[in-house]
Structure 1
Amino acid sequence: MKELFNDAIYQPLYNALTFLISIVPFGDVGMAVILLTIVVKVLILPLSNKALISQVRMREIEPEVRKLKEKYGDNREELAKRTLELYREKKINPFSGCLPLLIQLPILMGLYFVFFKESGAVINPDLLYSFIHVPDPVTYHFLGLIDISQKSLILALLAGFAQYIHTKMSLQAPAPRSGDGKVSFSDEFARSMHIQMKYVFPIMITGIAFITSGVIALYFIVSSVFAIAHELVMKRTRTT
């Protein structure tokens, strides 16, 4: 499995990054990281679209799902039956977004590991294809300002902030508490997960970005900004 991952995902991405370093001005690794992240995101865009459309459609029927929970909250079997009927009526498969996300995961992991290995390391000629040459020069001073081979608090904070904006945009609001004070376990769990995803995940991204390197932080920033732009475009498309 490790060899398959290396041959099919890691090595092609490593060579792509090396090639981009050789063609960007001054061998700027930061610019190459941005370009490769955007290229990969564009290539997997059809999968991302399917996952995002599924999320948006689920969000659109959330008010109706809440009404069902209020009406059949004490009868789990009836609630499940009515919810499935609603999904069928709206022609929504609640799991349709899972497969595209699972397919994307190894690709995005490969991208992360390439950038992690590239953080301050000398390019390994043994991993390069015969038609890819070791670039010269190679500089880790992104735009001549920030050494992304080292930890960067500024980039780490930007990565966390960008992730927070994306998470806030993509999460659907939890169900409001009812007037009688009764809260179902599922609603309370959803509320707890909403808070954790909204605040804890961006903090985790900030921490990972800081303890690794500026390369990883830059990757997180570009990924989040691309995801934000993608979601804005999809929302505008659905409302026109």
Structure 2
Amino acid sequence: MGFFGTIFEPIENLLHVVLQALYNVTDLAGFGSYGVAIILLTILIKMLLYPLTVKQVKSMKAMQELSPKMKKIQEKYKDNPQVMQQKVGALYKEAGVNPLAGCLPLLIQMPILMGMYYALYNFTYPTPESAAFLWLPNMSDPDPYYILPVLSALTTFLQQKQTTTEMNQQMKIMMTVMPLFIGWISLNFPSGLVLYWVTMNIVQITQQWWMYRNDDKKKEAA
């Protein structure tokens, strides 16, 4: 399993239990489906982590909004690092922004997200029939039609674009490279795992729209 797989094994086992329970719910409803169970589990996890997601996304967006001011300070005081640090600290304080505020929620979420990765990567479906979902003949195998890899790249791009305001050249490159990289590695991942990633992105996009719906109304009014 490897070092990291061993670390996240307790979370992986717990998620296997929850996934099986959700499958049983779909079975009782008359359409037993591990694909639906994966989608439900992903939505459940994202809803539980929503308070942390709010803190992480808002902190990230606040840092992006301060980026132009920080750049001016860095250019003005590039020969005096001590003053530069003081000015940047004052800028954070004035804006009520903590540069580390977005890291803690991510660190708390990471074990769960990694556990979900291993839970789906290593999941063994009871029968070949139960491993099928929609156009996917077997969710243990990569998507033979490349639909999910394309969706993984597209939803990753949309999710990044939604939270990115001011962009420097590096961020523009990252917004292009990261979705392409996710899509590329998804070509060889079990389709059940990629289904989780796509669902997670869609839920994240929906949550972020909900967070900033009032901001969008204010922009339209202005």
TM over 0.5, shorter chain: yes
Report the number of matched residues: 208
8 Å contact from structure 2 (residues 59, 99) kept in 1 = yes
CA gap 1:137/1:211 in 2 versus in 1, 3 angstroms? closer
> Counterparts of 2:160 and 2:64 in 1: how far apart (Å)?
14
Rg larger for: 1
Aligned pair partner of 2:180 in 196, 203, 206: 203
User: Which residue number corresponds to residue 6 of structure 1?
Assistant: 9
* Counterpart Cα distance in 2 of 1:235 and 1:39: 21
TM-score (norm 1): 0.78
3-state SS, counterpart of residue 86 of structure 1: helix
Aligned: 1:228 with 2:201: no
Tell me by how many angstroms 1:64 deviates.
Answer: 2.3
Unaligned runs of 5+ in 1: 124-135, 176-190
Please say if residues 160 and 205 of structure 1, whose CA atoms lie closer than 8 Å, have aligned partners that are also in contact.
yes
Q: Deviations over 1:1-53 (max 9, x none)?
A: 9766433x222111000111122143211111100000001111111111112
Contact 1:21/1:138 (<8 A) preserved: no
User: Is contact 2:38-2:196 (8 Å) kept?
Assistant: yes
Residue by residue over 1:53-76, the C-alpha shift from the partner in whole angstroms, topping out at 9 and shown as x without a partner, is 211222232332233234323433
In the TM superposition, 1:183-194 aligns within 5 A as 191-192=169-170, 194=171
The CA RMSD over aligned residues, in Å, is: 2.3
CA distance in 2, matches of 1:210, 1:10: 23
TM-score, normalised to structure 2, is 0.83
Q: Which runs of 5+ in 2 are unaligned?
A: none
Pair 1:106 & 2:111 matched: yes
Check 1:84–1:199 CA distance in 2 against 1; reply closer, same or farther (3 A cut).
same
Query: Structure 1 pair 116/2, CA: closer, same or farther in 2 (3 Å)?
Result: closer
Which of 1, 19, 22 is the equivalent residue of 2:21? 19
